Structure 1
């Protein structure tokens, strides 16, 4: 890059608090922000996702909603419209059920970049698992009376985490709540094939393959967990996930959903509204997914199965995600 062009780019970055000038117009040095990009690989992966995938989809957003009005298919997202356009593929013959996750499954570097980004995001301020652990009313030791372990305040004896990836949520729950006797982390076969059970949880944690879009639930438990799952999917797919779950639930089972609950727009909290609604559109652009308000959650649960009922919603102080407690009735 020509030196003058490089200077202009760097000085613009400095204006946004990335790098700092060591000598005006001559040299720059790292500051705390720019050093992150040099030293933390996952930060670079996250930026790759933000500056490559997301803008591509955003540029095709209007086209996607005109071409596929009202569609909830992942293959009709703006990002998939952009991907097909770049590859010269025909929208008319593309499988609408195949979305971004299917795309990157065949692209190992891109898949790893996405996984690294998601792993980093769950450790970002506001997204820590500790918010969920503190919000569930289970008690440190639990009360596993077989007749009562589904009551609010009781610790479930058995839990199932759906879409649990490497089992981090289950592991943290088991270490915090000894009253949880057994946990099963479910995910796609290729994910659980490489998952490892920590030595200290060898008798309490297991992994099992499961496709929440196509398989009825076959694992009996007292509590079922979803963390950052539903916002990737439109209502039609969220209902499919919930109906597959309902097929294996007994009356009184509880479902805990750890996701955003969009607040009503505020006349004075503009920054918060911009972040939450921006995240909602980001899910639309990338996956044809969505963030949901309380009314949205109530609607999709009721449409999936009338036996689902929201018992409570807790919004921990400082957390991005709420903790939604759902009871499955008779």
Structure 2
């Protein structure tokens, strides 16, 4: 069972912003030791696979995320945070900045590894020489060795004996997991070039909220991300798979929305419209938990709707409808109880996000709910630093690709107020263990 005692806190994460700048190495080390023991004791007591860099190590951190393991994951977060702090503190500012700027080399090695299919070239069990890899990839042995030996510092492959390469858990994942492989390839092929154009985009289009006036567009022939994918089916397919890898990861699962919102406060036979709902996979999970709800799935891409309808469980079909709809135009379904938008609005600047909300208004009855399942960025220095870095990175990626953003709770409140004064903003709730928020507004027209 999980420990009932709260884990030691991370000294560097406590106190004021100023105090966090002055952690002590010995206190960080104590935090690491204490929290590592909590996590390790649980893993061993439950007989879970022990974390390992070896090729047979688990692909994900082995402790499941649920109410029972809440304290274990708090300990894990404290361990991650303190470990990062002690590394950065012991490195010192000069070396930290000197080597931080070289991180593009890590991306470059991943690009080479995936482009030349090196994970498939290295046998799953056993080893292969640099010379054999070079021959199979049609590259010079010296250059293969240069790339892989840098990648090995990130534990992507390892050298069991001089001149030979074998898999680690990380490199095996690149070989066996198509979601991860597509995620890495999408980032190295499509996003990395855009990252080098952020400065130019800020100079050229500092106030723009248009998707075609971005760093991504400058890096890809002045095509917006959507135009780029629209004319390249294989890239679009990879993008979809990469987004699946991202959005189904720990903290992003649909179950957080299903369990994290009080759906029982709605009418028993409530109608829910999934705006921009793709195949309707979110509604399928809701339908399983609420057997009398009715669902209308909307999306601009008819192929997504057709896929969802053709693969829908026959027992659910009486409660589902699929409608082609562009969410920038007036909502065609009038008088529903809930209009749900998940992972759509962060793709758009405030100009277009406001249009999306305004497009709902003619369809809204008194008491109708608009529920948005996206991030509501925390105030600085309030989230776990490990999590905060991930969401701040995502925020910059949205700017780079689409002139869009991840929003704070105040931004959501403002968007609803600007769309129509009849919206009553209900706040942004973050379910336990979830990295996303449930943003809610009620339409009051009395």
Name 1:10's counterpart in structure 2. Answer: 148
Q: Which residue of 2 aligns with 1:116?
A: 241
* Matched ranges for 1:166-315 at <5 A: 166-180=279-293, 182-188=294-300, 189-195=302-308, 196=310, 197-213=312-328, 215-220=329-334, 221-266=336-381, 269-315=384-430
Give 1:37's aligned residue: 174
* Cα deviation 1:129-185 (Å, max 9, x = unaligned): 01111111124xxxxxxxxxxxx46556110101111110011100111131x1011
Structure 2 alignment gaps of length 5 or more: 1-138
The Cα of 1:269 is off from its aligned counterpart by 4.2
- How does 1:65-214 map onto structure 2 within 5 Å? 65-84=202-221, 99-139=224-264, 152=265, 155=268, 157-180=270-293, 182-188=294-300, 189-195=302-308, 196=310, 197-213=312-328
**Equivalence for 2:131:** none
Normalising by structure 2, report the TM-score. 0.65
CA contact (8 A) 1:310 1:326 kept: yes
1:319 equivalent in alignment to 2:434: yes
Could you tell me how far apart the structure 1 residues matched to 2:420 and 2:247 are? 30
Preserved contact between residue 57 and residue 286 of structure 1 (Cα < 8 Å): yes
- The secondary structure found in structure 2 opposite 1:69 is coil
Structure 1 contact 156–223 (Cα < 8 Å) conserved: no
Q: 3-state SS of the aligned residue for 1:199?
A: coil
The answer for unaligned runs of 5 or more in structure 1 is: 86-97, 140-151
Within 2, Cα distance between the matches of 1:120 and 1:268? 23
1:313 Cα deviation from its structure 2 partner: 2.0
Q: May I ask how many residue pairs the two structures share in their alignment?
A: 303
SS of aligned partner of 2:278: coil
Q: Is the 8 A contact 2:416 2:441 kept in 1?
A: no
- Deviation at residue 31 of structure 1 after TM alignment: 1.9
Q: For residues 213-266 of structure 1, what are the alpha-carbon distances to aligned partners after superposition, in whole Å with 9 as ceiling and x for unaligned?
A: 2x2011131011111011000000001111111121112100111100100100
Shift of 1:18: 1.5
Please say which structure displays the higher CA radius of gyration: 2
How many Å separate the matches in 2 of 1:267 and 1:39? Answer: 37
Kindly indicate whether the alpha-carbon contact (under 8 Å) linking 2:369 and 2:443 is maintained by their aligned counterparts in 1. Answer: yes
- The 3 A distance-change label for structure 1 pair 206 and 274 is same
Q: Counting strand residues as a fraction of each chain, which structure ranks higher?
A: 1
What secondary structure sits across from 1:74 in the alignment? coil
Distance 2:354 2:444 in 1: 17
Does 1:61 find its partner at 2:198?
yes
1:92 maps to none
1:297: how far off?
0.8
Q: Distance in 1 between matches of 2:254 and 2:384?
A: 26
Higher RCO (C-alpha under 8 Å, 6+ residues apart): 1
Question: Mean alpha-carbon deviation: is it higher for 30-39 or for 227-236?
Answer: 30-39
- Aligned-pair distance for 1:4? 2.6
